[in-house]
Amino acid sequence: LNSTLIQNLPPQNNHYDYIIVGAGAACLQLLMHWKSDPFFSDKKILILDPEIKKNNDRTWCFWSSLQDPCYLHYAYALQSSWKKVKMGTREEALTHLEYHCLPGSKAYEIMDVLIDSNSNLDRQYSFVEHWSEQEDCVLVKAGNQTFFCQHLFSTALNYSQLDLLRRKDLLKQSFFGWWIEADIPEEMRDTAILMDFEIPQEQKCQFVYFLPFQGGKALVELTRFGVEPIESNQAPLLLEQWLGTQGIKAWKILEVEMGSIPMSVDLGSQASQGKRVTSIGTAGGLIKPSTGYGFHRMHQHAQEITAQLKQSEEIGPPSSPSGRFKFYDQILLNLLVRKPQEGQRIFQSLFKKIPCERTLDFLEEKTSFQEEISILASLPFGLFVKSFFQVQGLKLKRFSSAGLFPWVLLLLTLCLCLGNNLAPDLFEPLGLALLIGGLVFPGIPHGAVDHLLGLKAIDHWRKWLAFVAGYLCIMAAVIALWLIAPILGLLGFLLYSAWHFGQTDMQQLGIYWGPFNMLQGYGVLAFLLGTHAEETENILRLMLSQPNFELSIPVAAALSLTGFLAMGIPAFFIAKDKAMEWVLLVATMVLASQLPLLMAFGIYFVGIHSVKSWMHLQKGLSFSFGKLLLYATPFTLGAFAVGLGLYWGLRKFDLPFDQWIPYLFLFLAAISAPHIFYMHKFYKTKEI
Ligand SMILES: Cc1cc2nc3c(=O)[nH]c(=O)nc-3n(C[C@H](O)[C@H](O)[C@H](O)COP(=O)(O)OP(=O)(O)OC[C@H]3O[C@@H](n4cnc5c(N)ncnc54)[C@H](O)[C@@H]3O)c2cc1C
């Protein structure tokens, strides 16, 4: 919808300053910040949620000091606060913190009162199906109505978050709790039991919460960290068993609360964050993945949003104290997914060695690095080190997706660059030796199995004859072209070489559209030639027998720049798992541009092109390394013999080295043309 059109419309009932999708905890936090702030008193706000919520479907507990703004906002409505807590077997009186509980029913009541008593707040019981961010507003579709607002706050999960939720190995925190009335033993009446692992673990990580209230009431809740959520027919048995062990023999169930929340660090990184749309609550990644607590964080987020709205700033993602907490969470979650049965041991050793208050500060991400070291040291070391390496492994996987070889080649190119600058006398012959070695294998052998590509069966002499004749014809045509029109011959050589180099690179990177072959091949050749302007100029002078030929600086610069850009284009089309390989290729080329032309070209031809071609041939022909080498050997030896023959012939005619160059290139152009032809046929018919 055209945004100018919206602006020109008279103010209507469906136009709001802010729309909040979901009347849950995050919505409540925003309303609590806005209720008494004059800035928001004239703002029209709409809350959309299909559900009418009145009962205790969940409880919002949090811990804080008594000066904390979140506590001060809700102090009047809290069901209870506890100074004494029990975590595992450790029971302690907190000094600067208290543990608070706000029942869901009370929170929904506060929200209802707020909405009813503020004329600028509207509420509709509708499900939001869709929204789209326009330049000047957000368009929201709910039921059969359309609304517009300046900013949308949403607790609804987006598509990528919903996809994450569907993952089979997603860790979840699931709950099953009873609000009960019972004769609670005296010693339990003033202590909040936060994580009691003394229940059957059943190869899972599960524990019980127990929050005693005034008047013999309590919330007893079974919580599980696991891929499979708690089943509602199993949970009552475990709760009964636990209550029995605490000496509570009879009770009346007043209400039941249950639910499940995802435990993933990815939920936050996939939150919707636009200029006019902000994810809040669970969808905004405000629930700490390793604990499932989020109420206090949502309060802080609401405070940040309020300040940004008042200063007309763009709303940024929620602030987080430090990335290291995300990392700790990741390690713990990785461990719990793989070995949930270790959860009990981990938490119990933490509670045994660390005071409750420090553990709570740690879980609230408020500890210093030194404090964290003592906390981490209390945990089973071996388990965490293993998990640490696994988490790193997940990251390293991205780097190792390219395999080891491209890294080695990059390092080698770097060493050659450094060596060439520091000790050119030593490194120039070394680079040359490497190049010759690389030509011996895989440079020449990769082009010595064309018979396997051109011949369907190699067992009949007539087929051989036809193949060799075809091969020689292509070579003869190339030689003839060079003799008649050397410039055309050179141009053709450059074009089909570019095609061929690009084709191998693109096959490797999984891009199969022809024009990209040419683009990539052009990129590599133009970049190498352009960055070696002087050497290119000399070669062209000799090849074309034009001693005055000049490669101007603008032409060389244009070649380098367009070459570099052409190599960059595949980046937009590449699959994620190939991205690192592409980065390494470009990085190697950039480094190689600092080496003499022959060495730089050798790095590309041997280290990138021939190695990949050889791998493709092995895969496409389903040959082992040894078998392919065996088939390549006769023609490799043949190629050496022809090369030596050429060398011997030219020496015999006593030709100065400079005058060899045209013959060398003629030879290269002639032998590469049929090879390129057969490789093209191979790539067209075989899957790499
Ligand atoms: C049983 C349970 C106990 C928990 N206990 C605690 C605790 O003690 N302490 C703590 O800090 N955290 C706790 N949490 C975690 C967390 O704080 C809560 O899940 C919290 O309710 C999340 O807030 P929210 O606003 O993101 O989502 P919710 O409170 O779940 O609210 C989301 C609302 O959005 C509505 N909605 C969703 N999609 C749409 C749509 N497309 N259109 C319109 N409306 C939509 C839903 O109907 C829902 O009412 C608990 C969670 C559960 C499940």
pLDDT in tens, 409-451: 999 999 999 998 888 888 888 888 998 999 999 999 999 998 8
Q: How far is CA 26 from CA 106, 273, 606, in A?
A: 15, 16, 59
- State residue 650's pLDDT score: 79
Which pLDDT tens digit goes with each residue over 560-570?
999 999 999 88
- State residue 9's pLDDT score: 45
- State residue 12's pLDDT score: 66
57 CA closest ligand 1 atom index? 1
Which residues of the chain fall below pLDDT 70?
A: 1-12, 321, 394-400, 456-459, 686-688
Count each helix (H run) and each strand (E run) in the chain, helices first: 27, 17
Residue 535's closest CA among 474, 602, 595? 595
Cβ atoms of residues 274 and 134 within 8 Å: no
Regarding the beta carbon of 104 and ligand 1, being less than 6 Å apart is answered no
- State residue 10's pLDDT score: 44
- State residue 458's pLDDT score: 63
Regarding the beta carbon of 267 and ligand 1, being less than 6 Å apart is answered no
E strands within 197-267?
Answer: 205-212, 217-226, 251-262
Tokens of 185: 């033993």
- State residue 270's pLDDT score: 81
- State residue 102's pLDDT score: 97
Neighbour tally for 79: CB within 10 Å: 18
24 CA to centre of ligand 1 in angstroms:
5
Alpha-carbon gap, residue 17 to 520, rounded angstroms: 51
Ligand 1 atom 28, closest CA: 24
Ligand 1 atom 21, closest CA: 25
- State residue 3's pLDDT score: 43
- State residue 399's pLDDT score: 66
Ligand 1 atom 48, closest CA: 22
Ligand 1 atom 16, closest CA: 294
Mutate to test the pocket of ligand 1, among 55, 154, 208, 282 (most ligand atoms within 8 A of CB): 282
Burial track 395-417 (b if 16+ CB lie within 10 A, e otherwise): eeeeeeebeeebbebbebbeebb
Burial class (CB in 10 A: 0-12, 13-18, 19+), 685: exposed
Ligand 1 atom 23, closest CA: 25
- State residue 523's pLDDT score: 96
- State residue 379's pLDDT score: 86
Alpha-carbon gap, residue 643 to 598, rounded angstroms: 18
Regarding the beta carbon of 128 and ligand 1, being less than 6 Å apart is answered yes
Regarding the beta carbon of 61 and ligand 1, being less than 6 Å apart is answered yes
- State residue 271's pLDDT score: 84
Alpha-carbon gap, residue 121 to 116, rounded angstroms: 8
- State residue 281's pLDDT score: 95
- State residue 8's pLDDT score: 45
- State residue 403's pLDDT score: 82
- State residue 2's pLDDT score: 41
Structure-token match 């005693």, residue found: 212
174 CA to centre of ligand 1 in angstroms:
13
Taking the whole predicted model, whether its pTM rises above 0.75 is answered as no
Q: Which residues touch 569 (CB under 8 Å, ≥6 apart)?
A: 516, 519, 520, 523
Ligand 1 atom 30, closest CA: 24
48 CA closest ligand 1 atom index? 43
Alpha-carbon gap, residue 371 to 362, rounded angstroms: 8
Regarding the beta carbon of 318 and ligand 1, being less than 6 Å apart is answered no
Q: Which residues touch 289 (CB under 8 Å, ≥6 apart)?
A: 262, 263, 264, 265, 267, 329, 333
Q: Give the distance, in angstroms, between the CA of residue 601 and the centroid of all CA atoms in the same chain.
A: 34
Regarding the beta carbon of 475 and ligand 1, being less than 6 Å apart is answered no
Structure-token match 């009431």, residue found: 217
- State residue 395's pLDDT score: 66
